Structure 1
Amino acid sequence: MNLFHPKLLNSFKGYNGALLSKDILAGITVGVVALPLAMAFAIASGLKPEAGIFTAIIAGGLISVLGGSRVQIGGPAGAFIVIVYGIVDHYGIANLLLATAMSGVFLFLMGLFRLGTLIRFIPVAVIIGFTNGIAVLIGLSQVKEFFGLQITKMPAEFFQAIQTLYAAADTVNSTALMLSMGSLVLLISWRAFQKHLGYLSHIPGTVIATASATIVTGVFNLPVATIGSRFGGIPSGLPSFEWIPISWGTAQFVIAPAITLALLGAIESLLCARIADGLIHDRHESNQELMAQGVANVVSPFFGGMPATGTIARTVTNIQSGASTPIAGIVHSITLLVIILFGAPLAKDIPLASLAAILIFVAWNMGEWKKFADLKQFRLPYRLTMLSVFFLTIILDLTVAIQVGLLLAFITFIYRISSLSRYELASAADFPELEQHRGYVAAFRIYGAIFFGAVKILERIENELPSKVLVLDLKNVIYIDVSSMDALLELEEVCKNQGIKLIVCGLAHQPYEMAVRGGLLERLPVDSIYPDLHHGITAAISDNAN
C-alpha cells in the first residue's frame, strides 16, 4: 500500500469548515473556467466538444482523488491537441480511445516502477522547444475558425495545413473574424486590467469572452459556426460505459502514439505539479501522480474521453482561488457535471470563432517566447537543441522532435562532462624525488569522471608510459564506468607486456567498487595499491632503485 498513497489521504489533518469553503469556491471557479477550455481542446483535436467535458469530469475527478499533488487539476490539455488530431486523422477515433487507454497503462507502470523522478532529467531546452512548437501548431490549427474559412477538413501535416489555409484565404467570414477579434481583445484587456476590477477580478477572462460571444451570437443570430450548428449541441448527461474493442492487430499500430501520449502526459503533469509546489510551498509525489494519471487515462476512454494530464492554467487558477486540498479538484468535476446536466442547451450558441480566440490566447501564453528572444545568452549546444526541437515539432512530429532533442542533449552532456575530466603529470615541485627518476617513473593525477566519453584520458597516458613504474592517482576520480574499467585493464595489460609496474593510488567509494567488480584489484599485486599518491611514489622510486 506504500506504493499507492494518494495525497487526499493526508489532506484531512487539521481540515476545517473554513478550508472546506475555500476548496468548494475554488472548485466551482475552476469548473467554470474548465468548461470552455475543455470544449475548445476537444474541438481543436478533431473530436466533439463533449469529449473534452467528459474527460474533465471523469479523468479530472480521478486525478484529484488518486493524485500525488494537493492542488493539481487534471483534464484535457492544449499540449495534446496536435498529437490527438494526428491520431484521429491517421487512425480514427476508435483507435484514439485505444491509444489513450494504452498510454494510461504506460503511465501507471512508470509510476509503479518509480520512474517519476526520471522525467525531471529531461533538459529545459527540450521542454521549451516542444512547448513553443506545440503552441505554434495550436495557433495554426485555429486559423480556420478564427477567420471563418470554408475548409471541410484541416490536414494534420504542417505544410499541407499551410497550403490548405492559403487556398481558402478568399473565403474569410467577416462576421466570424470580428467576433474572434473581439473575443481576443476582451481576453487581453481582461488579463491586463483584471487586478483593477474588484470582485469581478475573480471571474476568468475565458468565461467572460465565451459568455459575451454566445450572447451576441444568439441575440443577433449571427451567421457563424456554433457548437449547435456544427455538433448539434452537447448531451445533458454522462455517456454510458462502452467497451473498447481491443486486439493485438489493432494495438500494435497505436503503440507509438500511445507512448507519445504517455511521455507527453508525464512531462506535462509533473511540470505542472512542480509549478504548483512552488506556489503552495509543498512537494508532490511524482510517482503517485503518474499512477493517478494512468488510472484516469485508462478509465476515461471507456466513457468517450480523450487523453488527460495536469493542466497548468487551471491548476494556477485553483491555487489563486484558495484551494488547499484535492477536494477542490473533486468539486471542479462535480461543477462541470452539474453544468452539463442543467445547462447543456445553452451551449449550442457558443461560436467556434470565440473558442478559436481562446485557444490562440492559450497558445500564446503557454509558449516561453522570451527564451527565444534571449537565445544569444545561451551556449550554442543549448540553442541548437531548443531550435531543433521547436522546428521538428512543427514540421515533422513531436516524437521525432523529443528523440532528436534528447539525443542532442545527451551528446552535449557527454562532451561537457568529458571536458571536465582531465589528467596531469605529478610535478617535481610537489615531489622533488621524481626528478632523479625522470623517464623511469611517471605519476599522473586524474580528475573528474572516467566514462566512455573520457576514455581518451587513459589512451593518452598509454602514449606517455615510463620505462619502469607508472603511478595513477585516482583520488579525485568520482566515477568509473564499465568502458573505462576495460580501458584500465587494457592499460594494465600493456604495462605488464612492456615490463612496467602499475601502481594505483587513492581508490575510494564507487571507483573502488568498480575496481573490485572489474577484477583490477585481483590482477594487481598487493604492493601496487596505495591509499594516496605520496605512498605510491615512494614505493615506485623504491622499486626503480632496486
Structure 2
Amino acid sequence: MFDLITKRDSNVKNDVLSGITVALALVPEAVAFAFVAGVEPMIGLYAAFMMGLITSAIGGRPGMISGATGAMAVVMVALVAQHGVAYLFAAVILAGLLQILAGVFRLGKFIRLVPYPVMLGFVNGLAIVIFLAQLGQFKVLDSMGEHVWMQGPMLYIMLGLTLLTMAIIYFLPKLTTAVPASLVAIVTVTLLVHGLDLDARTVIDFVKDMVPAEQRDTVTLAGELPTFAIPTVPFTWETLMIILPTSVILALVGLIESLLTLSLIDEMTDTRGRGNKECIGQGVANTVNGFFGGMGGCAMIGQSMININSGGRGRLSGITAALVLLGFILFAAPLIEMIPLAALVGVMFVVVIGTFEWASFRIIRGVNKEDAFVLFLVTAITVIADLAIAVVVGVIVSALVFAWKHATHIIARTHVDDRGWKVYELEGPLFFGSVLHFRDLFDPQGDPDEVVIDFKDSRIWDSSGLDAIDGLADKYKEQGKKLHIRHISQECNALLTKAQEYVEINVNEDPRYHIATDKLG
C-alpha cells in the first residue's frame, strides 16, 4: 500500500530534510519513554540527541536512527524507583562499556544466528508495539485525572487529521519527491489546526498530561545543553552489584534491537552495515549518555523507517536529526509544542503499515509448521513481554526444532565386502540430537566378527557423538568382535578414549575439521 522504502542514493538535500522530519517524530517518543523509565522529559530528550548524534557519526549503519527506546526504558524502571536517577546514569555507563567490549571482541557477527522466522516475528511484533503505543494518543484526562478515550468532536478531529496525514504521505510522492512527504504532512496539518483553531491535542498537551496537575502550568520542552557530570554514587562493590544486572540487560537489549534493525535496513536498502562497528557506536553513545545526564537508548525501528522512507541514506540524516532536535530544545521549543499529535500519529501509522511484513501471511502457507510457530511465538512475546526475550526464545526454539528435525537424518547403508566384513556407510550429522538414532543403526550381536563404520559422508559435531562412538566400541568389544572406524578427523581421533585403538588413519583421505567440545579448550 505505502512505498516505504525508496532506492535513492544518499545526498545532502534528502538527508537534511529527512533528518528534520525524524527530529519532529523523536520528540513525543523521547518524552513518552522518559516517563516510562520514571525520569524527567529532558533526560529522554538529551538521550535522543546524544544517541542519534554519536551513533550516526561513528556507528556501523548510515541512515539508522538511535534514541531513547521503550525496550530499554522498561528495564530502567525498577532501578530508578529503588535507587534514583544517579544509579541509572551509572548503569547506562556500564552498559555502554559492555557494548564497546562486544564490538571489540567482534560479537556482532552472532546476529547472523537469528533465523529468518525470528526476524519476521521481530519485525511484526515491533510494528504491533508501535501501533499500540500510538493508541494512547487517543486518550485524554478526565475530571478525576484518569486517562479515558476521546469522544465526540475531539475524536473525529483527531481521526480526520490522522487520515489526512496518512493521505498526504501516500499521495504526495506520486506528484513530487522534492521534499519528504512526512515533513510536508506534519507542516500542513500543523498550519491547518492553528489556522482554523481546531480543538486538536498538541505535543505540549501530551507532556502536560504526564506530569502532576500542580506542575502543568510550568511544563515546557525548552532546555539547556547537557553538561558533564560523574554520577553521584558510591564507587563501591555494593554499587557495582546494584547496577550490574540492569547494565547487562540494557546492553543485551540495546545490541539485539540495534543489530536486528541494522539487518532489516540492510535487506530493505540492498546495502551492508557493519555490526561490530555499530556495537562500538552504541556503546560509546550510551557511555556518553551516562556522563551527560541522558537515559541511554538504542536503534529505533520506527524513526529509522521514517528516515529511510523520507530519503535519508547517509550519516548526515541522523546527525541532522540530532542537531535539529537540540535546536528545538534550545531555541524552538514553542514550535515543537504546537505540533498536533494527530500528525505524528499519522506518520507512525504509515511506519506501522510499511514495517509489518504482510507477506508473512503468504509465507506461512508455504513454509513448514515449525517456522510458522516460531514466527507467531516471537511476534507474541515481543508484544506481550520484551524484544530481547522474544529473540532469545525464538533462537532457542528454532535451534531445538533444527536439532529435532536433523536427529533422524543420520542413516547407514550397509553391505558386506569381499573379505566378509560388514560395512556401515554413514550419512548425516552425529551430534547430541542424533545419538540415539545412531545407536539403533547397529547390531553388535548379529554382526560378523569384523565390522567397519565409514564416516566419509558423515561428520561428528560434538562430544556426545564421540561418547556414542566410544560406547559402541565397548559393545563390539564385549562381543569379542573387531570394529574398524574410518574417515574421522585427527581431532576426533585424539579425543576418542575407548575407541581410539580401532581408528584407521589414512592421511590422504581422512578429513580435517574441528569438533565442538570443551576438551579442546
TM-score over 0.5 for the pair: yes
SS at match of 1:202: coil
CA deviation string 1:398-441 (max 9, x = no partner): 44433432221121111123233222223x6xx4x37xx4xxx3
* CA apart distance, 1:293: 0.9
Letter in 2 for 1:205: S
Letter in 1 for 2:27: M
Letter in 1 for 2:121: G
Contact 1:108 1:293 (8 Å CA) reproduced: yes
Equivalent of residue 413 in structure 2, options 413, 418, 424: 424
Rounded Cα–Cα distance in structure 2 between residues aligned with 1:130 and 1:320: 20
Equivalent of residue 183 in structure 1, options 138, 141, 161: 161
Contact 1:261 1:307 (8 Å CA) reproduced: no
After superposition, the Cα gap between the structure-2 partners of 1:464 and 1:175, relative to the gap in structure 1 and judged at 3 Å, is: farther
* CA apart distance, 1:41: 1.5
Rounded Cα–Cα distance in structure 1 between residues aligned with 2:382 and 2:32: 17
* CA apart distance, 1:223: 6.6
2:450 counterpart of 1:469: yes
2:174 counterpart of 1:196: yes
2:473 counterpart of 1:496: no
Rounded Cα–Cα distance in structure 2 between residues aligned with 1:237 and 1:207: 29
2:315 counterpart of 1:326: yes
* CA apart distance, 1:484: 0.7
Partner of 1:43: 31
* CA apart distance, 1:188: 2.1
What RMSD, in angstroms, separates the aligned Cα atoms of the two structures? Answer: 3.6
2:112 counterpart of 1:120: yes
Rounded Cα–Cα distance in structure 1 between residues aligned with 2:337 and 2:310: 29
Partner of 2:517: none
Letter in 2 for 1:490: G
Partner of 1:5: none
Q: State how 1:171-320 maps to structure 2 within 5 Å.
A: 172-198=150-176, 201-205=178-182, 208-209=185-186, 212-213=189-190, 216-217=193-194, 220=197, 222=199, 224=201, 226-227=203-204, 230=208, 232-246=219-233, 249=238, 252=241, 255-277=244-266, 282-312=271-301, 315=304
* CA apart distance, 1:287: 0.9
SS at match of 2:441: helix
Partner of 1:66: 58
Equivalent of residue 444 in structure 1, options 402, 407, 424: 424
Contact 2:22 2:306 (8 Å CA) reproduced: no
After TM superposition, the runs of 4+ consecutive aligned structure 1 residues lying more than 6 A away are 319-324
Rounded Cα–Cα distance in structure 1 between residues aligned with 2:309 and 2:391: 32
Letter in 1 for 2:190: A
CA deviation string 1:65-105 (max 9, x = no partner): 32233x2333226xx32541463377447255444333322
Partner of 2:329: 340
Contact 2:252 2:388 (8 Å CA) reproduced: no
Rounded Cα–Cα distance in structure 1 between residues aligned with 2:109 and 2:143: 44
Contact 2:223 2:329 (8 Å CA) reproduced: yes
Equivalent of residue 513 in structure 1, options 478, 487, 491: 491
SS at match of 1:142: helix
Letter in 1 for 2:67: P
* CA apart distance, 1:368: 2.3
Where is the helix percentage greater, Structure 1 or Structure 2?
Answer: 1
Structure 1: 5+ residue stretches without partners: 1-18, 154-163, 534-546
Rounded Cα–Cα distance in structure 2 between residues aligned with 1:65 and 1:500: 69
Rounded Cα–Cα distance in structure 2 between residues aligned with 1:190 and 1:235: 30
Rounded Cα–Cα distance in structure 2 between residues aligned with 1:396 and 1:335: 33
CA deviation string 1:251-308 (max 9, x = no partner): 6456555444433332333334345545666533221111111111121243333433
SS at match of 2:294: coil
Contact 2:47 2:297 (8 Å CA) reproduced: yes
Q: TM-score, normalised by structure 1?
A: 0.76
Partner of 1:410: 399
Partner of 1:15: none
Contact 2:23 2:322 (8 Å CA) reproduced: no
Q: Which piece of structure 1 moves more, 372-381 or 352-361?
A: 352-361
Q: TM-score, normalised by structure 2?
A: 0.79
Number of residues of Structure 1 aligned to a counterpart in Structure 2: 481
After superposition, the Cα gap between the structure-2 partners of 1:52 and 1:141, relative to the gap in structure 1 and judged at 3 Å, is: same
After superposition, the Cα gap between the structure-2 partners of 1:320 and 1:225, relative to the gap in structure 1 and judged at 3 Å, is: closer
Q: Greater CA radius of gyration, 1 or 2?
A: 1
CA deviation string 1:301-350 (max 9, x = no partner): 43333433334565566667776753554344333333433322222223
Contact 1:64 1:330 (8 Å CA) reproduced: yes
Contact 1:72 1:326 (8 Å CA) reproduced: yes
Contact 2:67 2:298 (8 Å CA) reproduced: yes
Contact 1:147 1:353 (8 Å CA) reproduced: no
Q: Which piece of structure 1 moves more, 311-320 or 333-342?
A: 311-320
Structure 2: 5+ residue stretches without partners: 1-8, 209-215, 510-521
Letter in 2 for 1:442: K
2:438 counterpart of 1:458: yes
Rounded Cα–Cα distance in structure 2 between residues aligned with 1:391 and 1:241: 41
CA deviation string 1:476-527 (max 9, x = no partner): 12343111111111212222222111111223xxx332222334674237xx
Contact 1:97 1:305 (8 Å CA) reproduced: yes
Letter in 1 for 2:63: Q
2:17 counterpart of 1:29: yes
Rounded Cα–Cα distance in structure 1 between residues aligned with 2:356 and 2:92: 25
Contact 2:166 2:349 (8 Å CA) reproduced: no
Partner of 2:212: none
CA deviation string 1:210-233 (max 9, x = no partner): 662376158627373641661722
Letter in 2 for 1:141: A
Rounded Cα–Cα distance in structure 2 between residues aligned with 1:395 and 1:279: 27
Equivalent of residue 401 in structure 1, options 379, 385, 390: 390
Contact 1:268 1:310 (8 Å CA) reproduced: yes
Rounded Cα–Cα distance in structure 2 between residues aligned with 1:182 and 1:137: 23
Q: State how 1:360-379 maps to structure 2 within 5 Å.
A: 360-372=349-361, 374-379=363-368
